[in-house]
Amino acid sequence: MIPVEPFFQALASQGVTFYTGVPDSLLKNFCSYVTDHAAHHVIAANEGNAVALAAGHYLATGKPALVYMQNSGLGNAVNPLLSLTDPDVYSIPMVLLVGWRGEPGVKDEPQHRKQGEVSRALLDAVQVPHFVLDADSGWAGLVSQALKKAVAEKRPVALLVRANTFDAYKLKSKVESSYPMVREEAIRAILASHPEWFFVSTTGYTSRELFEIREKAGQSHEQDFLTVGSMGHSLQIALGMVLSGTTKTVCCLDGDGAVLMQMGGLAVAAQSGQPLVHVLLNNGCHDSVGGQPTVGHAVNFQALASALGYRQSLSVSTLADLQKALGSLNREGPVFLEIKLKGGARSDLGRPTTSTGENRDAFMRALGSLK
């Protein structure tokens, strides 16, 4: 495996001093090292923002930046890669470090399979030259080659990183908070308070915990739509349901990283006038990809939601206050409930054992939209 410190130093020796991106599980050891050691590092709201940040850095310094992301984030990055940094537009160099989830022939989760299958073709389609990086690839030479090509041709160049490429590194600057609850406790309390609700849960640990809570309680999963991919879009899935006339109460279980990634959706949901319940499980970190911090705990989401037009906006941090809030929601319009949490999840947390197709069909049958 590639040790993260020499990899970081190899980039630094060739002029890379600015790092930005969205954390990824395949890159978490390197991302954690960057979080602990880089003097200029921004964990971006989304991957397109990261490309733009890297462009701004180049305009101010004349030096390329490194942008890290999961291959799922290439979709968010396509617009600025084509309309900003491309050689036919502003011709801006940078190196993209892309985690290759769902690589063909490598077992992975369903949401990553198509992404993995088309990653190289997608990079080719947007004319971003790329090299495949793994533990046996002669990494120092590839890093040098990618940077030299990016600078010489003034264009983005990608390093597509296979699973198990980086050596272990444990994040030292973890998010510290005094909030007593963890996400799983909050989800359990919501289910107990409103067993009749239908849920759309965000990607990552939230969906996994929701599935496992139901499993351990011997409950059906038919009221839960697990958004295993599409980070940041769970709220719009839930909104699409209520706009289409379902009589069921729909609750979106969202995360701070996901909300920050697609924050404009809050304004649309708030102004919809629909009786949607939007719960933000805010633990201030990208929990499922290494625990790197978000700006979630620094943002006044309650005030933001109120300003955007949610009919009711609440923020709680204790179990007692959560239970009280759950009993006092105004169901005449969209409501927002932030739950401030500490980070972390059980080390033995499992994954859903039903397929995505089974999840979809059971959910639709319970809603009455599939016979």
* φ, ψ for residue 33, nearest 5 deg: -65, -40
pLDDT of residue 109: 87
Amino acid at 25: S
Task: Reply yes or no on whether the pLDDT at 190 is more than 90.
Answer: yes
Q: Which CATH architecture has domain 4-161?
A: 3-Layer(aba) Sandwich (3.40)
What are the pLDDT digits (tens) for 229-242? 999 999 999 999 99
Q: How far apart are CA 29 and CA 32, in angstroms?
A: 5
In the chain, domain spans: 4-161, 183-367
pLDDT of residue 116: 96
What are the pLDDT digits (tens) for 236-287? 999 999 999 899 999 999 999 999 999 999 999 999 999 999 999 999 999 9
C-alpha pair distances (Å), 90 with each of 16, 61, 86, 93, 166 = 20, 15, 6, 9, 33
Task: Reply yes or no on whether the pLDDT at 13 is more than 90.
Answer: yes
Q: How far apart are CA 64 and CA 212, in angstroms?
A: 44
When the pLDDT of each residue in the chain is averaged and rounded to a whole number, the result is: 96
pLDDT of residue 175: 76
C-alpha pair distances (Å), 157 with each of 57, 222, 280 = 16, 44, 36
User: Angle formed by the axes of helices 183-193 and 319-326, to 10°?
Assistant: 30
User: Do residues 91 and 42 touch, judged by C-beta distance below 8 A?
Assistant: no
pLDDT band per the 50, 70, 90 thresholds, residue 176:
confident
C-alpha pair distances (Å), 129 with each of 53, 122, 213 = 20, 11, 44
CATH of 183-367, one of 3.40.50.1980, 3.40.640.10, 3.40.50.970, 3.40.250.10: 3.40.50.970
pLDDT of residue 371: 83
Tell me if 4-161 shares its fold with 183-367.
yes
Token digits of residue 28: 């978490």
Angle at alpha carbon of residue 47, lines to 317 and 306, rounded to 5°? 35
* pTM (predicted TM-score): 0.94
Task: Reply yes or no on whether the pLDDT at 177 is more than 90.
Answer: no
pLDDT band per the 50, 70, 90 thresholds, residue 300:
very high
**Lowest mean pLDDT: which of 90-99, 121-130, 134-143, 298-307?**
134-143
pLDDT of residue 140: 95
pLDDT of residue 363: 97
